[in-house]
């Protein structure tokens, strides 16, 4: 099997309501569909969600770097030669969503060619993931209403609360209101997207100590090196690295610095190949992980679920798999479903996804 073409299709699907957080907001899913064609007729598919405020990638840059730099280097290669493919991709720094979409499309091809699911190829631990829902910035009452609606409609009982606003009391009040409204049975954790200083983070964590948070993600910037260590040393709530740990070297730095106690793994930025390596790093060190989400559409969320359900460590905790619920539409012929708080993972072959070509024709931007 040889790669004959890599097709990049920009598409845009609006959100019903924007997701707002400390480092930005997303109103439209302006993503890139990546399809790797082969001489066997099989096509591997994945989705790249560019997040300009986090990684500097845009829809145009993802398409541009794949079309002009990556695709010409990969033509003629076998999809099985992932190590050789990554050696080529890694000559270029950055561009995590573009590289990851290619990686996941290759795994889709390998699964299809063997007639097995990618989740079995990766580890085959289970066929479902518990789902965690992200609640973006709004007034406290609206954030509580959203969490209640999602709990009642989808059975979701784990919520990630976006924080990082000033004054910190605003977010402290939101977390208290959510705990009061939802009760002690739901799981809550927070994500600051680098919005606070280390001392603001420490004050917020102290104020939230009795709210019963699972963990707190990326409260302050990775470059606040000593501030983060100071924070991690005193926090009674585990701190998780997200934007500060986007690849293996960064994971090592954050963990060895004592600046983080856990790591968010996002297939949108480390694909399957490097997500597996980050996971091995964490499990070898006895570090907890969470399956994160880069505000993926259904294809990206399916990839996150395929990875998360493949391993015991990643499926212990609810994964962030529900951002697509706020999109007005999507590209899958058989949409993902969340029921009783769980997402069942399609069982292949490959990623087990089928595109709705009419929808793609409608939403494509080229």
Residues recognised as catalytic: 162, 191, 217, 242, 266, 294
CA distances (Å), origin 112, targets 1, 34, 94, 104? 12, 16, 29, 12
In the complex with Mg ion, the residue whose CB is nearer, 187 or 191, is 191
In the complex with ligand MUC, the residue whose CB is nearer, 136 or 350, is 136
Sites for Mg ion among residues 202-231 (CB under 5 A): 217
275 binding partner (options Mg ion, ligand MUC, none; Cβ < 5 to 8 Å by kind): none
Please report how close the Cβ of residue 19 comes to ligand MUC at its closest, in angstroms.
8
Which residue(s) pair with 5 in the sheet?
Answer: 37
Residue in 148, 193, 149 with CA at minimum distance from that of residue 171: 193
Candidate segments 36-44, 131-139, 184-192, 294-302, binder of Mg ion by CB under 5 A:
184-192
54 binding partner (options Mg ion, ligand MUC, none; Cβ < 5 to 8 Å by kind): ligand MUC
Candidate segments 76-84, 100-108, 147-155, 240-248, binder of Mg ion by CB under 5 A:
240-248
In the complex with ligand MUC, the residue whose CB is nearer, 110 or 291, is 291
21 binding partner (options Mg ion, ligand MUC, none; Cβ < 5 to 8 Å by kind): ligand MUC
Distance CA 189, CA 237 (A): 10
Please report how close the Cβ of residue 160 comes to ligand MUC at its closest, in angstroms.
7
Q: In 10 A of CB 251, how many CB atoms?
A: 24
CA angle 299, 67, 107 (to 5 degrees): 40
In the complex with Mg ion, the residue whose CB is nearer, 11 or 215, is 215
342 binding partner (options Mg ion, ligand MUC, none; Cβ < 5 to 8 Å by kind): none
Residue in 22, 6, 95, 21 with CA at minimum distance from that of residue 59: 95
350 binding partner (options ligand MUC, Mg ion, none; Cβ < 5 to 8 Å by kind): none
In the complex with ligand MUC, the residue whose CB is nearer, 82 or 133, is 133
Tokens of 175: 């977390």
Question: Where along the sequence are the contacts to ligand MUC (CB under 6 A)?
Answer: 21, 51, 54, 191, 193, 242, 292-295
Tokens of 4: 């004959």
Please report how close the Cβ of residue 293 comes to ligand MUC at its closest, in angstroms.
6
In the complex with ligand MUC, the residue whose CB is nearer, 240 or 350, is 240
Please report how close the Cβ of residue 127 comes to ligand MUC at its closest, in angstroms.
25
112 binding partner (options ligand MUC, Mg ion, none; Cβ < 5 to 8 Å by kind): none
Please report how close the Cβ of residue 193 comes to ligand MUC at its closest, in angstroms.
5
In the complex with ligand MUC, the residue whose CB is nearer, 111 or 296, is 296
Please report how close the Cβ of residue 68 comes to ligand MUC at its closest, in angstroms.
25
Q: Confirm if 34 and 81 have CB atoms less than 8 A apart.
A: no
Residue in 221, 199, 301, 303 with CA at minimum distance from that of residue 53: 221
Please report how close the Cβ of residue 115 comes to ligand MUC at its closest, in angstroms.
34
Binder among 47, 103, 171, 191 for Mg ion (CB under 5 A): 191
Residue in 45, 50, 49, 62 with CA at minimum distance from that of residue 107: 45
Q: Is 242 in the site for Mg ion (CB under 5 A)?
A: yes
Question: Which phi and psi angles does 304 have, rounded to 5°?
Answer: -65, -40
294 binding partner (options ligand MUC, Mg ion, none; Cβ < 5 to 8 Å by kind): ligand MUC
Q: Which residues bind Mg ion (CB under 5 A)?
A: 191, 217, 242
């Amino acid at each position: 099997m040889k790669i004959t073409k890599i097709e990049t299709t920009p598409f845009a699907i609006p959100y019903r309501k924007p997701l707002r957080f400390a480092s930005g907001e997303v109103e439209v899913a302006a993503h890139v569909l990546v399809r790797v064609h082969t001489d066997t007729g099989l096509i591997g598919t994945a989705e790249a969600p560019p997040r300009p405020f986090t990684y500097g990638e845009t829809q145009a840059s993802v398409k541009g770097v794949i079309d002009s730099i990556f695709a010409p280097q990969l033509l003629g290669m076998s999809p099985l030669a992932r190590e050789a493919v990554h050696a080529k991709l890694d000559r270029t720094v950055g561009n995590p969503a573009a590289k990851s979409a290619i990686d996941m499309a290759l795994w889709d091809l390998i699964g299809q060619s063997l007639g097995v699911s990618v989740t079995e190829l990766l580890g085959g631990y289970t066929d479902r993931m518990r789902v965690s829902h992200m609640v973006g910035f709004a007034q406290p009452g609206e954030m509580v209403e959203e969490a209640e609606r999602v709990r009642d409609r989808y059975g979701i009982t784990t919520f990630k609360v976006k924080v990082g606003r000033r004054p910190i009391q605003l977010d402290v009040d939101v977390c208290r209101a959510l705990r009061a409204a939802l009760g002690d049975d739901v799981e809550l954790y927070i994500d600051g997207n680098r919005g606070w200083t280390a001392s603001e983070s420490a004050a917020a964590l102290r104020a939230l100590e009795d709210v019963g948070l699972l963990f707190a993600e990326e409260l302050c910037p990775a470059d606040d090196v000593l501030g983060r260590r100071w924070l991690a040393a005193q926090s009674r709530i585990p701190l998780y690295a997200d934007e500060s740990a986007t690849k293996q070297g960064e994971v090592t730095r954050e963990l060895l610095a004592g600046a983080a106690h856990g790591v968010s793994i996002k297939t949108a930025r480390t694909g399957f190949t490097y997500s597996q390596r980050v996971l091995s790093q964490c499990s070898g060190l006895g570090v907890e992980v969470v399956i994160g989400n880069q505000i993926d559409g259904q294809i990206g969320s399916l990839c996150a679920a395929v990875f998360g359900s493949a391993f015991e460590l990643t499926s212990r905790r609810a994964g962030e798999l529900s951002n697509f619920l706020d999109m007005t539409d999507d590209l899958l012929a058989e949409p993902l479903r969340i029921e009783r708080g769980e997402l069942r993972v399609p069982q292949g072959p490959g990623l087990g996804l089928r595109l709705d070509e009419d929808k793609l024709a409608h939403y494509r931007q080229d």
